[in-house]
Structure 1
Amino acid sequence: MSRLRSKQLHCDSILLVTTVVLVLIGLVMVFSSSGVYAMEKYNDAYYFLKRQVVWVFLGTVVMLLAREMDYRGLEKHTYYVMGITFLMLVAVMVPGLGKEVGGARRWLMLGGFTFQPSELAKFALILFIAKSLVKRSDQLKNFAYGYLPKLIVLGFFFVPILYQPDFGTATIICFVTFAMLMIAGLRSKFLIYSILVVVPLFVLAVMNAEYRIRRIVAFLNPWEHESNSGFQVVQSFYAFGRGGIFGSGIGSSSQKLFYLPEAHTDFIFSVIGEELGFVGALIIISLFSILIWRGFIIAYHAKDSFGTHVAIGLTLLIGIQAFMNMGVTVGLLPTKGLTLPFVSMGGSSLVVLMFSIGVLLNISGKLIQN
């Protein structure tokens, strides 16, 4: 028995330790990037840090619970999770229930805290895709019975999320869904047909919102729009440039002093690049690479199809979101408003992602026990 436990601990420790390190780095950087702003706005330099500590505690609790439960029970309750998530997405639009910030309705008021249902939607959709692939994997090459139903369900989540508007999350759930289906054996022609349909819809969604047009224009030439739509990205460039190889030191960022908007959320990677330099940024990228590697190892060795597909989906979610966040800060992608997993200030994202890590640990644990 002791030998079994030792193997199980060794199997889980790589993923667990990587996650813990990312979360701890996140706590340090949230305080470093938000202290001045919090003091100015709330007269409390620790305001955001204290809230993030609460979310880390809640995230740790749900991660441990997910680690101890039987992940196969999620397959039985997939439709309940989807239904609750969809109702929450609709409730966000109801005045008095949803909270509007910066022109976007993405949050539900829960006591003194807010929760973002679109974060739960990512997890719920992964469960659905995994469950459907287990039941009808042989029909995936059939458009009407195997592929179209999944697109319809994706649409039920995509539309309300886009309406909030939350274009970044809407993009992520599309990428994760198509990636899961491709790995499961989706016909390439179905993917091509989907691209031919999605690209015009994507262009239409961008053209329908002036702020999205400005973001695309700023992405193409941020320096030309440095004083308006390209301001965030240009300030991010300055942060990385000032950081150099080894950084200016923790707490020494100048860009966070009201130059770089959302320094503790969407652009926290820029502050890391400034204070910890290229070396610090490389460490963050390496940690995510280890996490992704570990997730795919768990998926590859899972003893049942549901565990494999869930592990693939959750790993893709973390990897794609991390890439998109970091890609925005270095100018590879247009600004989208996404957090850096486990690092940025953001309670809903942190709790859902830590629960996801718990599920991955659970799948890994079941593998060793089997």
Structure 2
Amino acid sequence: MVFSSSYSYTLVNLGDGYHYLKRVSIWAVVGTLAMIFFSKVNYWHWSKYANLAFIVSIILLILVLTPLGIERNYARRWLGVGESLTFMPSEVAKFAAIIFIPTSISRKKEKMQTFSQGILPYLMIIGLYFGLIFKQPDFSTAFVVVVMIFAMVFVGGIKFSHFLSIAGTGVGAITLLLAYILFSGKGGYKAERITTFLDPWKDPTDKGYQVIQSLLAIGTGGIFGRGLGRSVQKHFYLPEPQNDFIFSIIAEELGFIGGITVILLFMILIWRGIKIAMSAPDMLGCLMSTGVITMIAVQVMINIAVATSSMPATGIPLPFISYGGSSLVIFMSAIGIVLNISKHTNLDRS
């Protein structure tokens, strides 16, 4: 789908219609090797490097906000050399959290029931991650990290009353943040995205253009689609068809059937991950699986919700499908950890 959605753009702008296909193929090979590697190494081994992973991820998130960070489309989210060899520190932060948070919780055990040693330290970690990623700005990834950590902490055994109070505070904070963005006059592009979501036809040639083109792509796909490679919207109508809006191209070319098939495949993957988490041999394995599956589930929901105009537009890729090297490698590495946990579960059963 990356090749189909990007061919016209890369042919006209880069002189090579296979540019993204070549790059994503390389990253797919790297991701597959990473998945195999992590599936072979005992997941307990990574707990030795939990603190290091956390520190490195924070350092990278700080560096991306300095002049070393690479800016694209008014967002500073990348580190690397030039435009070709780059990666997103926020993706590294997700993976680091999947190792660090479960390791920390599994060591605390009954202390998780207390506020000072249970929920409080993780609130500080959430605030640190959220603040650094939101500053890029990248609200969607920051939201994914927050939900992912909350899910692991909740499963890790914090008091339900603590969870409810924090969840209520979080909802209140988000409400105040949205109110500030909309009514303070200082919301900038964030306010524009929210108002565009409420009425994209108010500015169909500028602010609402991308969402409208996405809906046109999905709508014109019908039941069975135009056919693989026959999308019209990818021909410079829909911006970023290979990234944030690749689901729209899937629905246009493969139709309602293709879109539902993709959603069902993700649901099967998520359900299988939940089963692995529930039957994991220990708390560490359970929490790692929970983190990985929550990360995938939340990101899938956000991406598809944006493509269908069910929430304000925000830049976040569809796991395993959208173009993006660091995202693909991180997701496949995370799946490798879940596969290793599953293998130990099967061994314990036998």
Match of 2:263 in 1: 285
CA distance in structure 2 between the partners assigned to 1:144 and 1:195 by the alignment:
22
Match of 2:278 in 1: 300
Alpha-carbon deviation of 1:58? 0.8
Match of 2:331 in 1: 353
Alpha-carbon deviation of 1:31? 0.5
Q: Match of 1:132, SS?
A: helix
Match of 2:141 in 1: 169
CA deviation map 1:172-200 (0-9, x unaligned): 11122222333344422332233334432
CA distance in structure 2 between the partners assigned to 1:31 and 1:161 by the alignment:
30
Match of 1:145 in 2: 117
Does the Cα contact within 8 Å between 2:28 and 2:328 map onto a contact in 1? yes
Does the Cα contact within 8 Å between 2:53 and 2:100 map onto a contact in 1? no
CA deviation map 1:294-315 (0-9, x unaligned): 1011111110110000001100
Alpha-carbon deviation of 1:92? 1.4
CA deviation map 1:14-52 (0-9, x unaligned): xxxxxxxxxxxxxxx101000000001100000111110
Match of 1:6 in 2: none
CA deviation map 1:282-333 (0-9, x unaligned): 1100110010011011111110110000001100100110111001000111
CA deviation map 1:208-231 (0-9, x unaligned): 431110110011111222222111
Among 301, 311, 318, the residue aligned to 2:289: 311
Among 150, 158, 173, the residue aligned to 1:178: 150
Q: Match of 1:165, SS?
A: coil
> Residue 346 and residue 203 in structure 1: after superposition, are their counterparts in 2 closer, same or farther (change >3 A)?
farther
CA distance in structure 1 between the partners assigned to 2:167 and 2:113 by the alignment:
11
CA distance in structure 1 between the partners assigned to 2:175 and 2:139 by the alignment:
14
Match of 2:106 in 1: 134
Alpha-carbon deviation of 1:124? 1.3
Counterpart AA for 1:334: P
Number of aligned residues? 341
Structure 1, unaligned runs of 5 or more: 1-28
Among 24, 30, 34, the residue aligned to 2:2: 30
> Residue 193 and residue 140 in structure 1: after superposition, are their counterparts in 2 closer, same or farther (change >3 A)?
farther
Does the Cα contact within 8 Å between 1:125 and 1:154 map onto a contact in 2? no
Once the two structures are superposed, the pairs formed by residues 14-163 of structure 1 within 5 Å of their partners are 29-95=1-67, 97-110=68-81, 112-163=84-135
Counterpart AA for 1:349: S
CA distance in structure 2 between the partners assigned to 1:202 and 1:349 by the alignment:
28
Does the Cα contact within 8 Å between 1:243 and 1:273 map onto a contact in 2? yes
Q: Match of 2:90, SS?
A: helix
Among 162, 171, 177, the residue aligned to 1:195: 171
Is 1:261 the counterpart of 2:232 in the alignment? no
CA deviation map 1:241-293 (0-9, x unaligned): 11000000011111011110000000000000000000000110011001001
CA deviation map 1:101-125 (0-9, x unaligned): 1111111114741110101111212
Q: Match of 2:43, SS?
A: coil
Q: Match of 2:78, SS?
A: strand
Greater RCO (CA < 8 Å, at least 6 residues apart): 1
Match of 1:244 in 2: 222
Q: Give the TM-score of the pair, scaled to structure 1.
A: 0.88
Match of 2:313 in 1: 335
Match of 2:206 in 1: 228
* Greater shift in the superposed pair: 50-59 or 192-201: 192-201
CA distance in structure 1 between the partners assigned to 2:181 and 2:101 by the alignment:
25
Q: Match of 1:93, SS?
A: coil
Q: Match of 2:70, SS?
A: strand
Counterpart AA for 1:363: I
Q: Match of 2:130, SS?
A: helix
* Greater shift in the superposed pair: 305-314 or 189-198: 189-198
Match of 2:298 in 1: 320
Match of 2:249 in 1: 271
CA distance in structure 2 between the partners assigned to 1:362 and 1:225 by the alignment:
50
CA distance in structure 2 between the partners assigned to 1:197 and 1:107 by the alignment:
28
Counterpart AA for 1:102: N
Does the Cα contact within 8 Å between 1:137 and 1:146 map onto a contact in 2? no
CA distance in structure 2 between the partners assigned to 1:184 and 1:284 by the alignment:
31
CA deviation map 1:43-88 (0-9, x unaligned): 0000111110111011011111101111101112111011111111
> Residue 106 and residue 205 in structure 1: after superposition, are their counterparts in 2 closer, same or farther (change >3 A)?
farther
